[in-house]
């Protein structure tokens, strides 16, 4: 990999925004010192000591064929100065064949050249559209909750208030068994994502409490302790529980999660509650330090539920869980007080996927357990598959083109949504990346380009406003119907909760809009968000189980849903064979250029962030003086150039790009060992990958994160590639959750 292999040097700063003069605009601060010096000399009317050939081999000409692999020379030659390279002076340069370029040609970047070849020619797991599909996690057609032993009050509440009429298959299996066998067995509930596992443990617990026909209230003590791996999931379970028991106002739930004030949690515990729901660390903290929680649990506690068991283990909560179980076991049960409740503690473990971690937790937490699974294989090693109705798509995209292909994908989804004349509907898309820094970069890249947005919730939600042209389907005159969100573990708990709430609720701001959330795996587990039409995995997950959980945010409870997985050409292509067993209904393999970029970028005019071209260059107009329409690949290239220009011109954005890139590479090194053969940091083309963060080259010459605008970057002793590998190795040794949360 050469230093500047296919890296672009021919772009200008966004002087539009700054309103600067030509000279100021040419003050490019990024790039290598040689390039900056050459540019400075040029501006001062001096020429460089060494004349280079003026050939422009490999550069793209609008409408010309893609290809060519001689980017290196081109970029060096084109490093003269931003305005000039794309301006009229350079228009008579030669192309690869020595042909004089037409006067109205523009030089555009080499986004489409020097990319690694895609070797997968045939889809080995074709999704057959002609096969009729029954949604695998949908409610059943004939069964009723009443026949499963659910209390009458709950049944009518479910039907009338929650619009839930029929049980799903896992609920049909779990509810009667938990009601009948509680006290004799523990339970391991294992079912697909979105199949209603939450109700499959809450309904039998609440029904058992209601069916004992003993007067209970908040002072009766806590009957169930429910532990979830993330604060978001714990809050969601708390919401579901609150909604369910709103039909019996005397029952009260209590939420204990990290990030909240312990003092107010203590006060709530003191008032009394019947269900304690929380994250492991905070629950253990209260068990060890808050006297009143033990009083709440003593005598009444009968159920302990560990939701998303594998994630609890993956996040390293095994010791915490063991400690919680030990403390809880030491609290005496008074079976005389509630004789109709189970006489001993019932442990329940829930998971959509089975990992070694779950097996370990099963051994720690469950005794004499019954497996309740709606899988085809009735053993604990059954493979969980993606919901049948999920339309999985996969696209193999060269690293340089990841960002622009993502833009195209989001653009296409929006266009399709707008075509349905949504009015009061809301569409949601979740984009998964591996680390917080990458979330920050993508969030800003897709929302903060030109200040045409409205910030909400401490700037974690941005409503795009008129004039925002970041997506190719928008023009200055259109009102963009997109709201962009970010969610990751480095945000404060308050912001995380408010952002998620805003994303999940339909309101005046979100009505008729396409809501796009950039997030880490913090949103991959258990979250039940309404109308999520698409999930995009821009970065493949750290482990295949996470893939199932991520795609499981859509196609829930029988609804339709689509997901798109981005893979890189090369070793990552083999990942498809690896995940094939999880997708028995097959997938569509999309060609990123024909099926994603072309529909998004053809027949649109991508705004140039370069006023010299737009205002003075007649070549950008057609005979009638209107803007000329370019080929889709030129539009895609221009779109990408706009991002690159922003990186150069906006030091804050540049910092986000550099941090995003570095963290992305570090996170890449933390794929689990079984999957390293597909995701090995050594296979990454760092230069090309940097481009997908809007960087001209990997952040060697950019001084990593330390350089301030206008300052010269300090030379580093260590070769940046080695440094990247060293950091990756270091990161590997650290706990993987750093990147998740
Ligand atoms: N019987 C039912 N009929 C209709 N909708 C249901 C039914 N049971 C649950 N749901 C809805 O299905 C959605 C998914 O439920 P839930 O979150 O419990 O799934 P899950 O199996 O826990 O998924 P995950 O594994 O992703 O956590 C929720 O919106 C819930 O309200």
The string of pLDDT tens digits covering residues 29-46 is 445 555 555 655 655 555
Q: Rounded to an integer, what distance in angstroms lies between the CA atom of residue 222 and that of residue 349? A: 19
Task: Identify the residue whose C-alpha is closest to ligand 1 atom 29.
Answer: 528
Q: Which of 557, 558, 561 to mutate to test the pocket of ligand 1 (most atoms within 8 A of CB)?
A: 557
Q: Rounded to an integer, what distance in angstroms lies between the CA atom of residue 193 and that of residue 307? A: 12
Class of domain 145-383: alpha beta
Is-contact 226 237, C-beta < 8 A?
yes
Q: Which of 196, 350, 373, 545 to mutate to test the pocket of ligand 1 (most atoms within 8 A of CB)?
A: 196
Neighbours of 241 (CB within 10 A): 24
Q: Which of the two residues, 217 and 360, has the higher pLDDT score? A: 217
Q: Which of 157, 194, 241, 309 to mutate to test the pocket of ligand 1 (most atoms within 8 A of CB)?
A: 194
Tokens of 657: 């790009």
Q: Rounded to an integer, what distance in angstroms lies between the CA atom of residue 538 and that of residue 565? A: 6
Average pLDDT over residues 472-483: 81
User: Burial code of 453-472, b = ≥16 C-beta within 10 A, e = fewer?
Assistant: beebbeebbbbbeebbbbbb
pLDDT per residue over 261-276, tens digit each?
Answer: 888 899 999 999 999 9
> Tokens 């390279």, residue?
85
Query: Ligand 1: residues whose CB is within 6 Å?
Result: 139, 164, 166-168, 171, 191, 193-199, 352, 526, 528, 552, 556-557
3 state SS of 516: strand
Is the predicted pLDDT of residue 216 greater than 50, yes or no? yes
The pLDDT assigned to 42 comes to: 57
Cα(427) to centroid(ligand 1), Å: 19
Cα(320) to centroid(ligand 1), Å: 27
Cα(194) to centroid(ligand 1), Å: 5
Query: What is the arrangement of strands in the sheet containing 275-278, beginning at the earlier edge strand?
Result: 253-256, 275-278, 224-227, 303-306, 346-351, 186-190, 369-373
- Which atom of ligand 1 approaches the CA of 552 most closely? 26
3 state SS of 366: coil
Neighbours of 537 (CB within 10 A): 22
Is the predicted pLDDT of residue 611 greater than 80, yes or no? no
3 state SS of 268: helix
Cα(387) to centroid(ligand 1), Å: 13
> Tokens 């406003």, residue?
465
Cα(227) to centroid(ligand 1), Å: 18
Average pLDDT over residues 572-588: 94
Contacts for 607 with CB less than 8 Å, ≥ 6 apart: 469, 475, 476, 642
Neighbours of 375 (CB within 10 A): 18
Is-contact 658 705, C-beta < 8 A?
yes
Q: Rounded to an integer, what distance in angstroms lies between the CA atom of residue 537 and that of residue 20? A: 39
Task: List, as own/partner pairs, every contact residues 730-733 make where C-beta atoms lie below 8 angstroms and the sequence separation is at least 24, other chains included.
Answer: 730/666, 731/666, 731/667, 731/669, 731/670, 732/669, 732/670
Is the predicted pLDDT of residue 447 greater than 70, yes or no? yes
Q: Report the DSSP pairing between strands 461-464 and 482-487.
A: antiparallel
Ramachandran category for residue 91: left, alpha or beta (phi over 0 → left; psi -120 to 50 → alpha):
alpha
Mean pLDDT over each residue of the chain, to the nearest integer: 79
Band of residue 176 on the pLDDT scale cut at 50, 70, 90: very high
User: Burial code of 155-168, b = ≥16 C-beta within 10 A, e = fewer?
Assistant: bebbeeeeebebbb
Is the predicted pLDDT of residue 695 greater than 90, yes or no? yes
- CATH code 3.40.50.300 for 390-612+632-661: yes
Contacts for 696 with CB less than 8 Å, ≥ 6 apart: 4, 7, 8, 9, 11, 30, 31, 644, 647, 648, 690
Is the predicted pLDDT of residue 26 greater than 70, yes or no? no
- Which atom of ligand 1 approaches the CA of 170 most closely? 21
Task: Identify the residue whose C-alpha is closest to ligand 1 atom 1.
Answer: 167
Q: Rounded to an integer, what distance in angstroms lies between the CA atom of residue 6 and that of residue 71? A: 5
Tokens of 69: 């692999």
Tokens of 700: 């060697």
Q: Tell which residue, 676, 434, 392, 435, has the closest CA to residue 548.
A: 392
Tokens of 451: 């200040």
The pLDDT assigned to 311 comes to: 83
pTM across the whole model: 0.78
> Tokens 């001096």, residue?
46
Band of residue 101 on the pLDDT scale cut at 50, 70, 90: very low
CA 315 to chain centre: 18
Count Cα neighbours of 505 within 13 Å in the Cβ-side half-sphere: 9
Least reliable range by pLDDT among 415-424, 453-462, 715-724: 715-724
Q: Report the DSSP pairing between strands 224-227 and 186-190.
A: unpaired
Cα(677) to centroid(ligand 1), Å: 35
The pLDDT assigned to 735 comes to: 37
- Which atom of ligand 1 approaches the CA of 198 most closely? 18
Cα(198) to centroid(ligand 1), Å: 7
Band of residue 624 on the pLDDT scale cut at 50, 70, 90: low
Is-contact 208 391, C-beta < 8 A?
no
User: Burial code of 268-292, b = ≥16 C-beta within 10 A, e = fewer?
Assistant: bbeebbbbbbbbbebbbbbbeebee
- Sign for the CA dihedral angle at 66, 68, 70, 73 comes to negative
Task: Identify the residue whose C-alpha is closest to ligand 1 atom 14.
Answer: 194
Phi, psi (degrees; rounded to nearest 5) at 429: -130, 135
Is the predicted pLDDT of residue 483 greater than 90, yes or no? yes
Is-contact 433 538, C-beta < 8 A?
yes
Phi, psi (degrees; rounded to nearest 5) at 219: -85, -5
Q: What is the ipTM of this complex?
A: 0.99
Is-contact 714 703, C-beta < 8 A?
yes
DSSP string for 573-597: GGHHHHHGGG-TT-EEEE-IIIIII
Tokens of 242: 């609150």
Q: Compute and round to an integer the Cα radius of gyration of the chain.
A: 29
Q: Which of the two residues, 246 and 337, has the higher pLDDT score? A: 246
Q: Report the DSSP pairing between strands 461-464 and 453-456.
A: antiparallel
The pLDDT assigned to 279 comes to: 94
Q: Rounded to an integer, what distance in angstroms lies between the CA atom of residue 427 and that of residue 552? A: 16
Cα(226) to centroid(ligand 1), Å: 17
Tokens of 248: 């019996």
Cross-strand bridge partners of residue 519: 432, 487
Percent of the chain residues topping a pLDDT of 70: 75
Is the predicted pLDDT of residue 94 greater than 90, yes or no? no
């Amino acid at each position: 990999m050469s230093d500047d292999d296919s890296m672009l040097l021919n772009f200008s700063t966004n002087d539009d925004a700054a309103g600067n003069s030509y000279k100021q605009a040419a003050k490019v601060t990024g790039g290598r010192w040689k390039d900056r010096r050459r540019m400075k000399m040029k501006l001062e009317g001096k020429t460089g000591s060494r004349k280079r050939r003026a050939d422009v081999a490999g550069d793209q000409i609008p409408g010309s064929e893609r290809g060519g692999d001689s980017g290196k020379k081109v970029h060096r030659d084109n490093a003269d100065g931003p305005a000039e390279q794309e301006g009229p002076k350079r228009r008579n340069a030669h192309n690869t064949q020595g042909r004089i370029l037409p006067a109205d040609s523009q030089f555009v970047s080499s986004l489409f050249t020097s990319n690694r070849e895609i070797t997968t020619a045939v889809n080995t797991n074709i999704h057959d559209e002609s096969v009729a599909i029954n949604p695998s996690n949908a409610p059943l057609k004939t069964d009723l909750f009443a026949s499963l032993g659910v209390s009458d009050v709950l049944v009518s509440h479910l039907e009338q208030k929650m619009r839930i009429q029929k049980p799903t298959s896992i609920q049909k299996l779990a509810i009667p068994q938990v009601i009948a066998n509680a006290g004799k067995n523990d339970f391991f509930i294992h079912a697909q994502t979105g199949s209603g596992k939450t109700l499959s443990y809450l309904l039998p617990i609440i029904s058992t409490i209601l069916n004992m026909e003993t007067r209970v209230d908040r002072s009766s003590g806590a009957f169930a302790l429910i532990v979830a791996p993330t604060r978001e999931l714990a809050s969601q379970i708390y919401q579901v529980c609150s909604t369910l028991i709103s039909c019996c106002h005397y029952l009260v739930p209590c939420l204990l999660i990290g990030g909240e004030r312990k003092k107010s949690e203590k006060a709530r515990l003191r008032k009394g509650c019947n269900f304690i729901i929380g994250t492991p660390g905070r629950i253990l903290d209260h068990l060890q330090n808050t006297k009143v929680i033990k009083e709440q649990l003593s005598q009444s506690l009968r159920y302990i539920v560990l939701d998303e068991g594998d994630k609890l283990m993956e996040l390293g909560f095994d010791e915490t869980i063991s400690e919680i179980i030990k403390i809880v076991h030491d609290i005496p049960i008074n079976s005389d007080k509630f004789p109709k409740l189970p006489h001993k503690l019932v442990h329940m473990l829930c998971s959509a996927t089975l990992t070694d971690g779950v097996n370990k937790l099963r051994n720690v937490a469950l005794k004499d357990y019954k497996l309740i699974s709606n899988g085809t294989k009735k053993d604990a090693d059954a493979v969980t598959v993606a919901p049948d109705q999920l339309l999985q798509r996969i696209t193999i995209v060269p690293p340089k083109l990841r960002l622009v292909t993502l833009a195209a994908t989001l653009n296409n989804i929006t266009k399709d949504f707008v075509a349905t004349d949504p009015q009061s509907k809301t569409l949601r898309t979740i984009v998964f990346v591996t680390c917080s820094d990458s979330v920050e970069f993508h969030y800003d890249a897709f929302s903060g380009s030109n200040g045409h947005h409205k910030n909400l919730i401490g700037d974690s939600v941005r409503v795009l406003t008129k004039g925002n042209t970041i997506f190719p389907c928008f023009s200055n005159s259109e009102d963009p119907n997109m709201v962009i969100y970010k969610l990751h573990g480095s945000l404060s708990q308050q912001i995380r909760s408010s952002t998620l709430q805003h994303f999940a609720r339909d309101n005046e701001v979100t009505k008729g809009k396409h809501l796009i959330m950039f997030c880490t795996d913090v949103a991959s587990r258990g979250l039940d968000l309404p109308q999520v039409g698409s999930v995009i995995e821009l970065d493949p997950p750290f482990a295949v189980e996470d893939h199932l959980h991520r795609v499981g945010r859509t196609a829930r409870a029988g609804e339709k849903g689509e997901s798109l997985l981005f893979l890189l050409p090369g070793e990552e292509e083999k990942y498809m064979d690896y995940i094939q067993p999880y997708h028995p209904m097959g997938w569509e393999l999309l060609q990123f250029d024909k099926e994603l970029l072309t529909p998004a970028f053809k027949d649109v005019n991508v705004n140039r962030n370069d006023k010299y071209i737009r205002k003075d260059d007649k070549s950008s107009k057609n005979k009638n003086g209107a803007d000329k329409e370019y080929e889709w690949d030129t539009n895609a290239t221009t779109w990408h150039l706009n991002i690159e220009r922003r990186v150069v011109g906006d030091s804050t954005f540049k910092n986000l790009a550099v941090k995003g890139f570095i963290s992305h590479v570090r996170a890449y090194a933390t794929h689990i060992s079984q999957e390293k053969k597909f995701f090995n940091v050594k296979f990454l083309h760092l230069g090309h990958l940097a481009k997908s963060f809007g960087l001209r080259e990997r952040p060697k010459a950019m001084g990593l994160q330390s350089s301030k605008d206008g300052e010269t970057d300090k030379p580093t002793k260590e070769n940046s590639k080695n440094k990247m590998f060293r950091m990756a190795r270091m990161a590997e040794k650290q706990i993987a959750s750093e990147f998740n949360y």
